[in-house]
Amino acid sequence: MEEAGETKKIMYVNRKAPYGTIYALEALEVVLIGAAFEQDVYMMFLDDGVFQLKKEQDTKALGVKNFSPTYRALEMYDVEKIYVEKESMEVRGLTADDLIIPVEVKSNEEVTKMMTEMDVLLNF
């Protein structure tokens, strides 16, 4: 039985492009809330989710606000465990230098192993 107030390892898995759905913005907001409650927060970006972190996003044509600068606030919330799947970036022609914040790049195999070590996985 778990004790009340026990810190959980929570991974927020971001798979969706940043715009066109509410998933990316909602995930970011949930991460900031979780971090404020002192949970052990991990962020993983896979598939089109890697585009959430791309520098210099221009959303004018979409008529929506570019929320990508908000990722810089993660550091203020002590969210430092931010990972991007290597294969997802490669398929989309991105490198870590193309991203708005520092990340740790992990192979698909490493991502799978990390996911098995989490208490909670939240997919967005």
48-76 pLDDT per residue, tens: 999 999 988 777 777 777 788 788 888 88
pLDDT value at 1 more than 50: no
Q: What is the pTM of this model?
A: 0.87
Give the pLDDT confidence of 63-109 residue by residue, as tens digits: 777 788 788 888 888 899 999 999 999 999 999 999 999 999 999 99
Q: What does the alpha-carbon distance between residue 63 and residue 74 come to, in Å, rounded to a whole number? A: 25
* 10 confidence band (pLDDT: 50, 70, 90): very high
Q: What does the alpha-carbon distance between residue 28 and residue 25 come to, in Å, rounded to a whole number? A: 5
Domains within the chain, CATH numbers bracketed = 9-123 (3.40.1260.10)
Q: Which amino acid is at 79?
A: V
Q: Where are the beta strands (DSSP E) in the chain?
A: 9-14, 40-45, 81-85, 104-106, 120-123
